[in-house]
Amino acid sequence: MGYQSVFRAGQFDGQTIVITGGGSGIGRCTAHELASLGAHVIITGRKQEKLDATAAEIVEDGGRVSTRAFDIRDEDAVRDAVKGMLDEHGQIHGLVNNAGGQYPMPLATIGKKGWEAVVANNLTGGFLMARETYNQCMKDKGGAIVNMLADMWGGMPSMGHSGAARAGMLNFTETAAVEWGVSGVRVNAVAPGFVASSGMDKYDPVFAKEVLSQLSGLVPLKRMAEEAEISSAIVWLLSEGAAFVTGNCIKIDGGGSLNAKAFPLLDQQRSQPYRGFHRAVRPKQV
């Protein structure tokens, strides 16, 4: 059984799409879906072995994939990587700025080094990838960019470094949409809420028990998102169906960012997840 996408077969035939952080989590899922729809996906990350594992899955499923290992925080490495991808494939039609990462810690104890590392992962790296892709290709040929945010509205207690970076990425998305529209480039973003991804298993067991296990109860739909539910929004933003959508951010959070403080969120199981990703790995800690 292959990826059960809601989009038509061949939607991205002839297109090359880059997914940063494509070796795991939402990036891995998005790469699988785009490949199943005909795209040649280029997955990037810092660890070649992780990229190789995901690439092997995509090839086994009949898709086309390339890998490129580099650090999106390194300006020279990004410039060289984008040039190499263009030399090999001719054009980049879409960029998914998915790579990022953070760790739980209260603001009062975050050091300068840790703050800058998270901001570099979640904001600066995405800016560098978008800038180089635009300057080296999309400025002349057009394209679509989708940036990764998070549910940072109203603050992100225990992850203030990530919240600040994600908020910056929202403003970058809006600014780039204005400046680059003249080149036929659309720039949008997605903001997932709580996602049942295997990446949750990287968190400290105490944090997982005390915090992650409670997350579903804070969402009106009373569950976490599936990776496929994030991927499908990204795929739509890259598609011709979103040809007049730019500068927007789609919140994919089950209503979690809404103000429900004064409204009782009753338990229910009526919201049924979309589980299109046939290779999804659910987290053990929640």
96 closest CA partner among 162, 168, 153, 42: 42
Q: Which domain holds residue 164?
A: 16-198+226-252
Residues contacting 165, CB < 8 A, separation 6+:
100, 118, 119, 121, 122, 123
State the Cα–Cα distance between residues 107 and 157, nearest whole angstrom: 8
More confident residue, 183 or 158: 183
pLDDT of residue 208: 63
Helix (H) or strand (E) holding 67: strand 64-69
Identify whether 27 is part of a domain. Answer: yes
> In the chain, what percentage of residues exceed pLDDT 70?
94
pLDDT of residue 210: 65
What CATH number corresponds to the domain at position 108? 3.40.50.720
Q: What is the mean pLDDT of the chain?
A: 93
What is the pTM for the complete model shown? 0.93
pLDDT of residue 171: 98
- For residues 70-98, average pLDDT: 98
pLDDT, tens digit, 9 for 90 and up, residues 228-260: 999 999 999 999 999 999 999 999 999 999 877
Q: Given a cut of 80, is residue 201 above it in pLDDT?
A: no
Identify whether 68 is part of a domain. Answer: yes
* Among 39-48, 92-101, 205-214, 253-262, the least confident range: 205-214
Contacts by residues 101-106 (CB-CB < 8 Å, ≥ 24 positions apart) = 102/159, 102/161, 102/162, 103/159, 103/203, 104/158, 104/159, 104/203, 104/204, 104/207, 104/211, 105/158, 105/159, 105/161, 106/157, 106/158, 106/160
Identify whether 81 is part of a domain. Answer: yes
Identify whether 207 is part of a domain. Answer: no
As separate numbers, helices (DSSP H) first and strands (DSSP E) second, the chain gives: 9, 7
pLDDT confidence of 119, banded at 50, 70, 90?
A: very high
pLDDT of residue 217: 83
Identify whether 140 is part of a domain. Answer: yes
Q: Given a cut of 70, is residue 126 above it in pLDDT?
A: yes
pLDDT, tens digit, 9 for 90 and up, residues 5-35: 999 999 999 999 999 999 999 999 999 999 9
Q: How many domains does the chain have?
A: 1
DSSP letter assigned to residue 226: P
pLDDT of residue 259: 78
Identify whether 99 is part of a domain. Answer: yes
Identify whether 271 is part of a domain. Answer: no
Identify whether 45 is part of a domain. Answer: yes
- For residue 73, report the phi and psi dihedrals to the nearest 5 degrees: -85, -10
239 closest CA partner among 75, 57, 6, 72: 6
